[in-house]
Structure 1
Amino acid sequence: MTRSTMSSIRIEGIETPISRLIMGSMMLHEDRMEHANELLDAYIEAGGNTIDTAHVYGAAGKRALGRWMREGNHRSSLILIGKGGHPDENGPRMTNQAMERDLEESLERLQTDYVDIYMLHRDDPSVSVGYILESLERLLESKRCRALGVSNWTTARLEEANAYASSSGLTGFACNSPNLSLAKPNEPRWAGCISADADYVSWHETSQLPLLSWSSQAGGFFTGRFSPDRLEDQEAVRVYYSDANWERLRRARQLAESKGCDANHIALSYVLRQRFPSCAIIGPNSPAELHSSLRGLEVGLTQKEADWLDLLTDE
């Protein structure tokens, strides 16, 4: 089978451009290797090359990914994202020991000796950016990662960290991974999570720092599974049910009809139609769902259409 070529962006410190659709790993499990192999093979055949993992996601998914990489000799052609430093039941874990331990355990489960991008999954504002960056620099020097990023940090802390790195001769953060989606959350989906609002997006437009969005399709909000009178999914109700989001869904459906696609494709295309480099992390449960997401790469949105979808204009 001939592999497709997926559009990509560049991350400082990573030689190979990363695909704009990033495969999540939470749906993988070592006890369901046939399913894992099918999904990962389909992603590679579609031209994808970047897979998102995190220490807090547990061992089973990373072991499945590690086995698939080993058996298919895929590691050298992949960009692996690892995340560490997630809080536990005792609170924040923004320590040198926790960052290193999370990375080491992830590498063992993945059966590799490095991840391409190592991200801090959360922040602890009580810890200085200097301490954090100096701790991460040691991981870079040991060749266990190639570039650094953060997830769920405020832009103020991110800017402070990169300014410190620049003035201190340290490696700064090359990418950021908050939530960015057409549906705007009423409140954080999980404690400590950050979603990109208008000011956050404006900061990225100015800095041009690449953004890798988690929950880019808003938990399936645009798939047709939800409506104002369907209240069984309490998380969706709490996070996404609002008059503004129902109007965004209505507009996405209207635009999708004119473009010959569906609202979910429009929502994904919105994430990729930013004024700065952006990628979307997706979590398909089947090759069919993956191929559906690929359609979002093909839907061309103008800036006027994106602004209209986001209720910034009425035309």
Structure 2
Amino acid sequence: MRNRNIPGTELTPSVICLGTSNFGETVSKETSFELMDRFLDRGGNFLDTAKVYSDWLPGELSRSEKLIGQWLKSRNNRNRIVLATKGAHPELETMHIPRLSREEIIYDVEQSLRHLQTDFIDLYWLHRDDPQRPVEDIIDTMNALVQQGKIRYFGCSNWKAVRIEAANHYAASRGVQGFAASQTKWSLASYSPGNDPTTVTMDENELTYHEGTGLPAIPYNSQASGFFSGRYKSEMLLKPSPENEKVWKLCNDKNLRMLKCVESIAQQLELTMTQISLGYLLAHPFPVFPISGCKNISQLEDSCAAGDVLLDHQVFAELKSIH
């Protein structure tokens, strides 16, 4: 699998990032370890997690981070991994109340370091924004953590371009680090407005910002909950059923047209639908590192193979014309 530098940093992660939100939830410890081992064997080195992952379940908190910490310790391979985690997420019971104060950010970083059993985090994401909080305070807090050696670089997750621009403008004026990358919801799918107003989806305005600035994107939900993974054929999505319940909300005319297009291109190029859908993201003119939340080895192999796919201009244009 290819690696690519995140501009302005010393990080050169694999172009496919292994998402771990299901670790400790629907993916057991044993399978989690097996997935990370195989990912490393296939040339992957970019892991993405979050302090809040699994906290929607009763019982132990931060299971994903803790499992990764146990794996890093047991394999003694921390120096081979580009480790990314997220913090400053609102409490799940009060999503309308931001948690982006200096004290909350520092507390979450300390907790994640402990869970991950590491002295530093390569790329730390602020999981949500608080538009009422000045970007100057946030950038100053993050740079203090960099200076302390607790994080190397930082990015933002679910931040709008206007806020990213303000933050990076301030950072440049002070000669300090700004956001190295942005993490948004992005795939070949067109999404209806969701129930969570704190999330940000890659729309035309956000995409224009990335194209104009070259800011790297690390998309989550990059296969639209499996909609473009090959699991669902267009004939399976004509009416709601137990088999398509997870993706039925995506079954509008535009997404079904896109699905048929991906099916056709995959057949023509003798690639899988996963490789086409992730290859589309990778083909953009700025650095993109799609997050793939694999649950088994077969899914992992398919996603890793996408890291070597180079779609030509004609195929990219065809997909983009629908998207």
Q: What is the CA deviation profile of residues 31-61 of structure 1, one whole-angstrom value per residue up to 9, with x for unaligned ones?
A: 9332122111000000011100111114212
User: Would you say the 8 A contact 1:210–1:277 is kept in 2?
Assistant: yes
Which residue does 2:178 correspond to in 1? 172
Q: String of CA shifts for 1:161-198, please: whole Å, max 9, x gaps.
A: 10011112331111111122111211237441111112
1:271–1:280 CA contact under 8 A, matched in 2: yes
1:305 to 304, 311, 315: 315
Matches within 5 A, 1:270-281: 270-281=280-291
Distance 1:50 1:120, change over 3 A: same
Please say if residues 9 and 180 of structure 2, whose CA atoms lie closer than 8 Å, have aligned partners that are also in contact. Answer: no
Segments ≥4 residues shifted beyond 6 Å: none
Q: Under a length normalisation based on structure 2, what TM-score does the superposition of the two structures give?
A: 0.89
> Which of 50, 70, 77 is matched with 2:73 structurally?
70
Q: May I ask how many residue pairs the two structures share in their alignment?
A: 307
Give 1:57-206 correspondences, 5 Å limit. 57=53, 58-88=61-91, 89-90=93-94, 91-188=97-194, 190-206=196-212
User: Scaled by the length of structure 1, what TM-score is found?
Assistant: 0.92
Question: Which of the residues 25, 30, 46 maps onto 2:20?
Answer: 25
Counterpart of 1:278 in 2: which secondary structure?
coil
102-111 vs 296-305, which moves further: 296-305
Amino acid of the residue matched to residue 206 of structure 1?
G
2:52 to 39, 53, 56: 56
* Aligned residues with identical type, % of pairs: 32
- Partner Cα separation in structure 1 for residue 28 and residue 320 of structure 2: 39
The unaligned stretches of length 5 or more in structure 2 are 54-60
Cα displacement (A) at 1:230? 2.7
- Does the 8 A contact of 1:14 with 1:116 survive in 2? no
**How far did 1:308 drift?**
1.3
Partner of 1:236: 247
Cα separation, 1, equivalents of 2:8 and 2:195: 31
SS of equivalent residue, structure 2 residue 90: coil
Quote the offset at 1:152 in angstroms.
Answer: 0.7
5+ residue gaps, structure 1, are: 1-5
- What secondary structure sits across from 2:291 in the alignment? strand
Paired residues of 1:189 and 1:235 also in contact (CA < 8 A): no
Give the whole-Å Cα distance in 1 for the aligned partners of 2:124 and 2:296: 27
Task: Please give the alpha-carbon distance, in whole angstroms, between the structure 2 residues aligned to 1:265 and 1:167.
Answer: 41
Q: For residues 65 and 270 of structure 2, what CA distance do their matches in structure 1 show?
A: 37
